[in-house]
Chain A
Amino acid sequence: MSDKVRNLQELRNLRDELKGRLLLREKSKAPEKLVQIKVSMATCGIASGARETMSYLIEELDQQGVDAIVTQTGCMGYCYAEPTIEVTLPGEKPVVFGHVDTVKAAEIIEKYIKKGELVDGIIPDTYNTIDNK
C-alpha cells in the first residue's frame, strides 16, 4: 500500500470516529455555533511566538474536548501586542486578546471560552474584525 493511500485511510478512519459525534457534524454545517479562534500569523506574530500559541490552543482544546475552529489570519495591526488572537463565542461579538503566550492562552480557555468570563488583555472594544477592515 502506498504512503498516500495509507494516510488517506487514516483520515477516513478519523471521519468515521468523528461521525459518531453527531453534534459536531451538525455544528460544522453552521460554524457560528462553534467557538472560533483566529491567530494572527504575520511576521510580527510569528516572531513573537504565534505558532507556539496556536499549537497550544489546538492541543488544549482537543484535550479538553472543546469543539472549535482554529484558523490563521494576517496582521491585525496590533504588532506591539503580538501574539494576538480573536475569539468568537457562539452568539457573541468577537473579542481580541493581546500578548497571548501559552499562559494567557490557558487562562482564556479556562475563563473566557469555557465560562464566558472576560480576562485581562483585551484590545480596544472599537476593534473591527480583520474581515471588516
Chain B
Amino acid sequence: MKDLSLHILDVVDNSVNAGATKVEVRLIYRGDILEITIRDNGYGIARSLIERVTDPFTTTRTSRKVGMGLSLLKMNAERTGGRVSIESEPQKGTTVNASFVTSHIDCLPEGDMAKTLAMIISGNPQVNFKIKIVKNDRLFEISSEEIKESLNGIPLSHPKVNLLIRDILKENV
C-alpha cells in the first residue's frame, strides 16, 4: 500500500464482501496520532479465525491462498508505533481499529483521503456509509443516506456526484 487512505479502501472492501449494509468509517486526528475505525454489520469473522486474521497466509477465499490486506495494515501501523485491533462477532459485524503515529519516519503518507472516501460512498451505492471525521476538535459527518435523500433519484455512482462529494470532503479532511 502506498498510503494510509488505500488501507481504508481495502478494509471497506472486506466489509462490502461480508454483506454489510451499514459501514461506519471514523477518522480521529489527535496530535500526531491518526486513529482509523471501520465498523460494519457484515457476517463477522469466526472465533477460530480471528486470531489468525492478520496472518498473510490466512484467507476465507478459495481462489487463492493468501490474504494480504489486514496483515499489511498491521505491519504499517506497528512500524510507526501504532496498533491494530479487530473485534468481531459472527452474524453481527466487525470493527477494525488502526492507529498510526503520523510523525514517525516510517509512517506512510496519508494519501488523498477525500478522493478515497468519495469513491467508497459513490462506488458502493448499496451500502449506507457513515463517515465521521474529528479534526482540530471539530466533528464532520456525512452519510450515503443523507446524500441519496438530497439527490432524489440521481444515481449516487454518477461521476458528477462523486466529484461533488469529493469537493465537500476536501474541505473537511
Q: Which residues of A contact B (CB under 8 A)?
A: 3-4, 7-8, 10-12, 14-15, 18, 24-25, 28-29, 31, 34, 39, 41-43, 46-47, 51, 54-55, 57-59, 61-62, 66-72, 74-75, 77, 79
Contact yes or no, B163 A58, CB < 8 A: yes
Contact yes or no, B17 A74, CB < 8 A: yes
Main SS at interface, chain A = helix
Q: Which of B9, B142, B153, B154 contacts A7 (CB 8 A)?
A: B142
- Asked if A79 meets B64 with Cβ closer than 8 Å, knowing A3-B140, A41-B123, A68-B158, the reply is yes
Contact yes or no, B154 A71, CB < 8 A: no
The stretch among B30-38, B44-52, B100-108, B114-122 that forms the contact with chain A is: B114-122
Chain A CB within 8 A of B86 CB: no
Specify which chain B residues have a CB less than 8 angstroms from the CB of A69 in the assembled complex.
155, 157-158
Q: Which of A28, A34, A58, A62 contacts B153 (CB 8 A)?
A: A28
A74 to B172, CA, bound (A): 28
Contact yes or no, B154 A25, CB < 8 A: yes
Taken residue by residue from 143 to 160, chain B's Cβ proximity to chain A (1 for < 8 Å, 0 otherwise) reads as 000110011111101111
Contact yes or no, A24 B154, CB < 8 A: yes
Contact yes or no, B150 A71, CB < 8 A: no
